[in-house]
Structure 1
Amino acid sequence: MRTIWDISPPVSDRSPVFPGDTAYQQRWTATLDTHCPVNVAEIRLSTHLGAHADAPLHYDPHGPSAGHMALEPFLGPCRVIHARHGRPLIEPADLLPHLSNCPPRILVSTTAKAKYDAWSDHFTAFAPSSLQLLADQGIQLVGIDTPSVDPASSKTLESHQVLRHHAMRVLENLVLDEIAPGDYELIALPLALIQADASPVRAILRSLD
């Protein structure tokens, strides 16, 4: 049996969201008792809560929605790279030593302890030049263990725009605390949310043998 690592944070009413975004809310529309055979819940949440895949519609008014994205980028060999330096941006120099014979998916671990129970504006994002480097290497998907590939204060979303220009896919809010650098199989499929700008995913890694 191949080893599986769950790289998704828990989702609950404690899950942090970008200030002003929709927090997790749940109510029971049916409860199991002598008159009802099931529990049924209604949930309300941001499409960017927890581990999620941004769709191009998030940063491109003419981009495809989550439900119209091809699934192939979210499934297959990937490489985990550690850039746990605590600086605001992942620079090309952080990635270049790790790109030899690289699979088409890159996940970057920026910290030994992902923050998934409180919001903070202080997290590591990608320098646009780093995503351009990965695009030039033929990378189809990038992932990060922080809320965004852009800094929280960004109004231009330059890194997202590099993704848009090269039709790259992205995963955010992963949990890579226990994942050693190296190559794995990634499975992180978005839901078929036809009108949505992003989708939650249950992201996992599997050992290659």
Structure 2
Amino acid sequence: MKIIDISQRLHNQIPVWPGDAPFTFGLSWTKEDSGSVNVGKIEMSAHTGTHIDAPYHFDDEGARVADLPLERFIGKALVVDLTGAAVISKEELSKFDFSGVSKVLIKTGSWTDRSKFPETITSVHENTAPFLKEKGIDLIGVDVPSVDELDSKGLPSHHSLQRYDIQILEGIVLDGVEPGVYNLIALPLPLAEADGCPVRAVLIQE
């Protein structure tokens, strides 16, 4: 069994959405001060690094993170390579066989320097959601910060995926991951009020 970490490492220089809360980790208590332990403190946006979007992120009536079914974030996943594609669409994805999987993870290669927030990305076309639903897919993962274009206000792909009950995983790292079928684990924390949550996403190769 091989475990492949497809999560971004969280550190104080990790890029976040422009204007969003930066990630910071520091010590509230040091072992020297407390006499026994170091105790850390984290401040961050819920959409830092590799994360999931709950429907509440873009819908005031949508489910929060803790209400999402955990089985959606565990299961057989197909990794596909769409490097160079202008957009992730039904037409692009129709080339692949989704038999026996319930998740799809898409390598676009369009976020080339993860030390900086990207200026452009390969986004997901809104016709993708109904196609994936037909194929039995209940989660889509992308190697970019959003399934929609970065300047989108209407977020058509987010809303389309929600309508078809497909969970959203963003900011995964698929560098060096070969296309194929893996077991995915990308569990969010049980945050009762949250609109999103960083995850430790891993692929298990039998």
Taking structure 2 as the reference length, the TM-score comes to 0.95
For residues 118-162 of structure 1, the C-alpha deviation after alignment (integer angstroms, 9 at most, x for no partner) is 111211110111222112222100000000000001111000001
Q: 1:99 Cα deviation (Å)?
A: 2.8
Q: Which moved more, 1:172-181 or 1:22-31?
A: 22-31
Instruction: Measure the CA separation in 2 of the matches of 1:173 and 1:136.
Output: 25
Code of the aligned partner of 2:134: D
Change (3 A) 1:86 1:137: closer
For structure 2, list consecutive stretches of 5 or more residues without a partner in the other structure: none
Residue of structure 2 equivalent to 1:109: 107
Please give the alpha-carbon distance, in whole angstroms, between the structure 1 residues aligned to 2:156 and 2:48: 21
1-structure distance, mates of 2:183, 2:112: 21
Distance 1:106 1:78 in 2: 5
**Which deviates more, 24-33 or 47-56?**
24-33
**CA distance, structure 2, for counterparts of residue 91 and residue 186 of structure 1:** 22
1:193 aligned partner, one-letter code: L
User: What is the number of residues matched between the two proteins?
Assistant: 206
Q: Does 1:32 align with 2:31?
A: yes
1:47 and 1:200 in contact (8 A); partners too: yes
For 2:58, the equivalent position in structure 1 comes to 59
TM-score by length of 1: 0.94
The answer to whether structure 1 residue 83 and structure 2 residue 82 are counterparts is yes
One-letter code of the match for 1:28?
L
The percentage of counterpart residues that share the same residue type is: 35
Matched position secondary structure for 1:41: strand
Q: What displacement does 1:116 show?
A: 2.3
Mean alpha-carbon deviation: is it higher for 110-119 or for 60-69?
Answer: 110-119
Q: Which runs of 4+ in 1 moved over 4 A?
A: none
Contact 1:83–1:110 (CA<8 Å) still a contact in 2? yes
For 1:4-57, what per-residue CA distance to the aligned partner results, in whole angstroms no more than 9, with x for missing partners? Answer: 100001111111111111110223110012752111111110000011011111
Superposition pairs of residues 148-187 of structure 1, within 5 angstroms = 148-187=146-185
Answer whether contact 2:129 2:164 (CA < 8 A) is retained.
no
| SS of residue matched to 1:33 | helix
Contact 2:98 2:135 in 1 (8 A): no
CA RMSD, 1 decimal: 1.5
Contact 1:114–1:176 under 8 Å retained in 2 = no
